[in-house]
Structure 1
């Protein structure tokens, strides 16, 4: 069966924001390999400004870059204490949007990370580990044409 060609990412992230009561939800997509796998925050909901449009990250830099590089989720319950004030400049989306607690998951396609989905609050400990797990379960095996690798299981294991 043909994969859905058009998927309304903006609608989906707005639904996630509403369902969980997040202050901010954003989707960063990998640009072309000619741009050395640059990531840009492409779809957002709950933004305070348009600064996210100017943020471009390489693999390993910022929230999206780290999740892209490692292929693993990232959870920060209290950004100020866990990231330390001096390191916050390495996380431009956190500073630009005033996020105090957040989580991000990699989104895969063809076994490669092609996107990063970020959710967060502007209050400390707004995002609990339990809520982050519920969010990851809600995303489940599909988010449009992408999937969260943690949710994909080998059928031979059953």
Structure 2
């Protein structure tokens, strides 16, 4: 059994939700190349519906697609203030789960983004810089078969 199969993502997401008190925790994974590097929300905890399962994103689209494309973490303390109500449709997970404040972290494997971890709240300004930093420390350098920072090549 490979390392990815052994790691229980659902359990880890449940632990993160409980430890931090997040309203929503989701994990989007990169789909095989024949799907043109799309991302799909595979796991979640605290979801208010199963609509997240239908969300598939291309590189650069939505929260997961943006984090995938840039390889950089994203912290949004006030969704509507940053994106405005009219642009929210381009962030389907935010709309589907009524997320108002969130952080998203790229997860790497073999120096490529292979997943995106999204944690959020359903009220504005709940995700702070300090809490986002604590999350990075809590998940540590590894999240199952992934690591949360791009490895530096020497």
User: Equivalent residue for 2:21?
Assistant: 21
Conservation of the 8 A alpha-carbon contact between 2:29 and 2:114: yes
Conservation of the 8 A alpha-carbon contact between 2:3 and 2:144: no
User: Equivalent residue for 2:54?
Assistant: 54
Moved over 6 A (4+): none
Distance change (3 Å), C-alpha of 1:40 and 1:3 = closer
Tell me the distance in 2 between the aligned counterparts of 1:42 and 1:86: 27
Conservation of the 8 A alpha-carbon contact between 2:102 and 2:119: yes
| Correspondence 1:74-85 to 2 at 5 A | 74-85=74-85
Q: Which moved more, 1:110-119 or 1:141-150?
A: 141-150
User: Under a length normalisation based on structure 1, what TM-score does the superposition of the two structures give?
Assistant: 0.92
CA-to-partner distance for each residue in 1:96-142, whole Å, 9 max, x for gaps? 00000001000000000000000000011011111011101111210
Tell me the distance in 2 between the aligned counterparts of 1:3 and 1:39: 20
Deviation (angstroms), 1:153: 6.7
User: Equivalent residue for 1:110?
Assistant: 110
Tell me the distance in 2 between the aligned counterparts of 1:146 and 1:103: 18
User: Under a length normalisation based on structure 2, what TM-score does the superposition of the two structures give?
Assistant: 0.95
Conservation of the 8 A alpha-carbon contact between 2:102 and 2:120: yes
Query: Structure 1 unaligned runs (5+)?
Result: none
- Total equivalences in the alignment: 153
Tell me the distance in 1 between the aligned counterparts of 2:39 and 2:79: 21
